[in-house]
Amino acid sequence: MSASRGKLPISSGSIVFLVLSFAVTVPGLYYGITHTHIAPILGAFVFGVAVFGAAFILSWAAEAAEVDISESLAVAILALIAVLPEYAVDFVFTWKSAHDPEQAHYAIANMTGSNRLLVGVGWPAVLFVFIWAKKKKELVLDQGQRCEIFYLAIATLYSFTIPLKGSLNFIDMAILITIFVMYTRRLTQMPVIEPEFVGPTRILVNMANRGRRIATIVFFIWSGATIFFVAEPFAESLVETGAKLGVSKFLLVQWLAPLASESPEFIVAITWAMRGNAQSAIKALISSKVNQWTLLIGTIPLIYAISGGVIKPFPLDNLQQHELLLTAAQSLFALAVLVNLKLSRTNGILLLTLFMLQLVISEIRMEVAVLYIVLAFVYGFLHRKQLIPAAKFGLGLKSNSGD
C-alpha cells in the first residue's frame, strides 16, 4: 500500500455489507461440503444466495490485490477462481464419458454453452449497464486489454483445428496449456496501477501490508471454496427443477447449468459496470474465456485418459464438432469487434441478437457460424491497422505505431 495515502473513510454500511456477504455463504457452503440433499427449489435459493455472496467477496479481494499486483493479473486470478465451477461440472462429465460415451455430449455442451454465454450475453450486459449507468455511447477499453484480446485470439484460431480433427488429444492439451502459461506470464509483466477503492474494499486496503495481504488471500480462498462447493449443487438444483417441467436435459446442461456456474463472473462484471468500471468487467469476462478456451478444454484429454486408464483422444461426434465450430466462430467475431478497443451499442446488439438467434432456432447454428466468420473478416478488415499493435502488445514487444 502506498505510504503517501492516508486511511480511507469506511461507512457502517460497508461493514454490514461485508459481514452479510460472508454470512449468506455459510448455509450453502455447509450443504455443499456435506452433500446434504435439499429440495431443488430450496437448493436453488440457498446455493444461489451463497454464489451471490461469494461473488462480492471475490470482487473485493481482486480489487484489494491491485495494491500489490497488476490489475490484469488480479482480474485473471478472479476469473480463474470464478470459473472453478465450470471446471468441476465439465470434469465430472468428462470423467464419466470414459465409461459412458453419452456423457461426452454433456461435457462439450456445458463448455460451449458457457463460452457462448460469456460473449453473447455477458459482453452486451456489461455494455448496456455501463451505457445506462454512466450515460455513455460506447465502451472504450484501455491499451492494456490488448493482452487479453491477443491471447484469446491465439486460442480461438487454434480452436478451429479441433472440430476439423474430430477429437481432442494430448497435442491439443500441450498447445492450449502453453498458451495459458504464456498469457499468465505476460500478465505478471503488466504495471501496477492503484485504482480508486470503494465500499468494503477500503476495509482491506486500510490494513498494514502484511495484514492486507493475508486478509486478501483469505477472501480469495473463502470465495473460491464457496463457489467450488456450491456451484455444482446450484446447477443441479436448477436442472432438477427444469427437468420436472419437461425441459430437455441437453438444453439444461448447455444453458441453465453454465448460467449458474457463470453467475459469479456475471455478478462481479455487472457490479463493476454499474460503478463505471466496465473496462475491468469486460477484462474479467475475456480472461474467463481465455481460461476456458485454453486450460479447461486443454485438460479434457487428461481427465478422459486418467478416468479410462488409457491414453487416447477424446472423441467428438458431428454434434460436438458443430458446437465447437460455432463457439469458435462467435469468439472470432467478438475479437474482430473488440480489436479496436471499442464496444458500441450497435455491436452489443449484434452480439446479443446473433446469440439469441442460434439459441432459439438451433437448426440454423451452422448458418450462424458462417455469418460470424463472414462478419469477423469484415470487422477485421475495418480494424486491420489495430491487428499488429495488438499482437506486439500481447507478446510484450515495443510498438512503433504509438498505440
Per residue in 154-210, pLDDT (tens digit) is: 999 999 999 988 899 999 999 999 999 898 888 877 766 666 666 787 888 888 888
264: nearest Cα among 19, 16, 28:
28
Over range 319-339, report the average pLDDT: 93
pLDDT greater than 80 at residue 378 = yes
CB burial readout 42-58, b (16+ within 10 A) else e:
ebbbbbbbbbbbbbbbb
The whole-model pTM stands at 0.79
Asked whether residue 240 is domain-assigned, the answer is: yes
| Predicted local distance difference test score (pLDDT) of residue 402 | 44
CA distance 156 to 116: 13
The answer to whether residues 225 and 19 touch, using CB atoms and an 8 Å cutoff, is no
pLDDT over 50 (residue 3): no
Terminal-to-terminal C-alpha distance of the chain = 30
96-105, 134-143, 258-267: range with lowest mean pLDDT: 258-267
Asked if 50 contacts 28 with a C-beta cutoff of 8 angstroms, the reply is: yes
The CATH number that applies at residue 348 is: 1.20.1420.30
Confidence (pLDDT) at 254: 72
* 357 pLDDT higher than 60: yes
Residue 39, domain member (yes or no): yes
How many domains does the structure of the chain reveal?
Answer: 1
**Which element (helix H / strand E) includes 168?**
strand 167-168
Classify residue 402: in a domain, yes or no.
Answer: no
What 3-state class would DSSP assign to 140?
strand
In a domain, 400, yes or no: no
Task: Tell me which residue range forms the domain holding 96.
Answer: 12-395
Residue 6 falls inside a structural domain? no
- Highest mean pLDDT among 106-120, 352-366, 383-397 belongs to 352-366
d(CA 335, CA 153): 7
DSSP string, 14-60: HHHHHHHHHHHHHHHHHHHHHT----HHHHHHHHHHHHHHHHHHHHH
- In the 8-state DSSP scheme, what is residue 144? G
User: For the chain, what is the mean pLDDT?
Assistant: 83
Question: What mean pLDDT is predicted for residues 303-331?
Answer: 90
Most confident of the ranges 12-16, 101-105, 347-351: 347-351
Whether the predicted pLDDT of 260 surpasses 80:
no
Q: Is the dihedral of CA 260, 228, 14, 281 positive or negative?
A: negative
What pLDDT does residue 403 have?
A: 45
Residue 1: is its pLDDT beyond 50?
no
- Residue 239 domain-assigned? yes
Residue 43 in grid coordinates: 437448493
Q: Lowest mean pLDDT: which of 192-201, 274-283, 322-331?
A: 192-201
pLDDT at residue number 57: 86
The residue that leads in pLDDT, 51 or 339, is 339
Q: For 363-374, how does the pLDDT look when each residue is reduced to its tens digit (9 = 90+)?
A: 898 999 999 999
Residue 394 pLDDT more than 60? yes
Beta-strand (E) ranges in 204-350?
314-315, 342-344
pLDDT interval class at 4 (50, 70, 90): very low
* pLDDT at residue 2 in the model: 45
Q: Express as a percent the part of the chain with pLDDT over 90.
A: 26
pLDDT tens-digit profile of 141-156? Answer: 888 788 888 999 999 9
> Is residue 274 pLDDT above 90, yes or no?
no
Residue 167 pairs with which residues in a beta bridge?
A: 315
Q: Which residue has the higher pLDDT, 368 or 85?
A: 368
- Give the pairing type, strands 138-140 and 314-315: unpaired
Write down the pLDDT at residue 400: 46
Report helix, strand or coil for 173.
Answer: helix
Q: Is residue 163 part of a domain?
A: yes
What single-letter DSSP state applies at residue 8? P
In a domain, 7, yes or no: no
Task: Output 378-383 pairs: Cβ under 8 A, ≥24 positions apart.
Answer: 378/336, 379/333, 379/336, 379/337, 379/339, 380/336, 380/339, 383/336, 383/339, 383/340
